[in-house]
Amino acid sequence: MAQTVLDIFLVIIIAHYLIERLISNLNFRHLNDAMPASLNTIYSETDYKKSQRYRRINSSFKMITSTFLLLLILVMIGFDGFAFVNRFALEISTNPVLSALIFFAVIFSAKELITFPFAIYKTFAIDNEYGENVKSGGAFIFSMFKKWFADAVLGGGLITLAILLWTKTGKNFWLLAWAIVTVVSLIFYFLYTKVIFPKFTRHEPLDEGVEKQAILDFVHRVGIDVDDVHVIQGNAPASNAKVFISGRGSEKCIVIYNSLLNDMTVAESLALIAHELGHRSKGHAFWKGIVRFAKNGLMLFALSFVLSTPLIFEAFSVYEPRFHIGLMAFLIVYAPLSFLLGIVPKFMSRWHEYRADAYAASFGFSNDLASALKKQSAKRSTNLTPHPLYVFFYQSQPSLLTRLKKLDK
Ligand SMILES: [Zn+2]
């Protein structure tokens, strides 16, 4: 029986590896495609070729590292490596928390050590050559140490918390953990995104003029009651709305990231603002939250299931169930699981983009939105010809060409 369980694990990780390689290969072949004719006025041919070359070399590199990591896991499983590290940890301490921390410290230090040459090659041979992320040797070492330190503190803290929760709750672990994760993210959302961020991030009034008046006229037209327009310098973090309302009463204003204004005509800026307000008026953030909530629940249920199935421990040649072995088994199938569970949120996110585009188009902004999207895409040198399967599994944004096609209708 334990052998069957092990076989299931092996099938899952190898299948995931093969599917990822297949999709990546399909995408790779498209990277040589010529730039679509409708876009070559916006993109610089040389810049685009360079960024596609960078993508190609990264894709090949990823193929090498992921194959190497798969082999590493297979060797660990084949030679009962996890059971060996488990015995080592238990010899030092039989305390559930301490032994788990030692176990993961050994596993992750070994992994970091073995993959360190890859990180060096990626930073100094690939990124430096393409002018991405140029780092000195000292800065590289410092950033690695910073990452290891953060991982140790955060990972160690989470593991400790999870073990304490698990020993108290047993089978109901996932329900309680789900509740905690949900409450913490809700608090973070309301406290940070709604209160701290708008209050403490510097935003300045946009200069008086045609642009400001046009923006105010438009937001009044869609029923947002503000008297001023403010601007934040820089790019919006992925988790933040690019347009939001800040303050109360007479201080109430609409805040816009300057990435929506810079290098855009007034009409293009309005089109981008309309797109963002489309997300807002259709409650997309709410649905994103619901899907994330469901995904968290499923993940925690899977973890709980692994932890309470002794056969899985036996599959890894450990006969006395230990939290860290269960967690390790879960981490091994974490990537395939999140690959599968990511399909729905990614699909929804792309659908939201189309809906927000349609919202902007309903105010007559189709052409301006199209040219604004082209400019943004050129600035970021996005891949113009991703394979449809790649978009389906990995991208939360639709490809530029499909977006433009839909806007055209
Ligand atoms: Zn959007």
279 CA distance to ligand 1 middle (Å)? 7
- Cβ partners under 8 Å of residue 342, min gap 6: 393
Give the least confident one: 9-13, 37-41, 161-165, 304-308.
Answer: 37-41
- The pair of structure tokens assigned to 158 is 């989470």
Q: Are 70 and 401 in contact (CB under 8 A)?
A: no
285 CA distance to ligand 1 middle (Å)? 11
Q: What's the rounded Cα separation, in Å, for the pair 409 and 367?
A: 11
Q: What's the rounded Cα separation, in Å, for the pair 38 and 374?
A: 10
159 CA distance to ligand 1 middle (Å)? 36
Using the Cα atoms of residue 380, residue 381, residue 383 and residue 385 in order, give the sign of their dihedral.
Answer: positive
* Residue 29: per-residue pLDDT: 83
58 CA distance to ligand 1 middle (Å)? 27
User: What are the pLDDT digits (tens) for 107-154?
Assistant: 999 999 999 999 988 888 888 777 776 678 888 889 899 999 999 999
Write down the domain spans for the chain: 2-179+285-408, 188-273
User: What are the pLDDT digits (tens) for 352-402?
Assistant: 999 999 999 999 999 999 999 999 888 888 888 899 999 999 999 999 999
365 CA distance to ligand 1 middle (Å)? 15
33 CA distance to ligand 1 middle (Å)? 26
- The pair of structure tokens assigned to 175 is 């329900």
358 CA distance to ligand 1 middle (Å)? 11
pTM higher than 0.85 for the full model? Answer: yes
What share of the chain in percent tops pLDDT 90?
63
Domain 188-273 has CATH 3.30.2010.10: yes
Overall average pLDDT of the 320-334 stretch = 93
273 CA distance to ligand 1 middle (Å)? 10
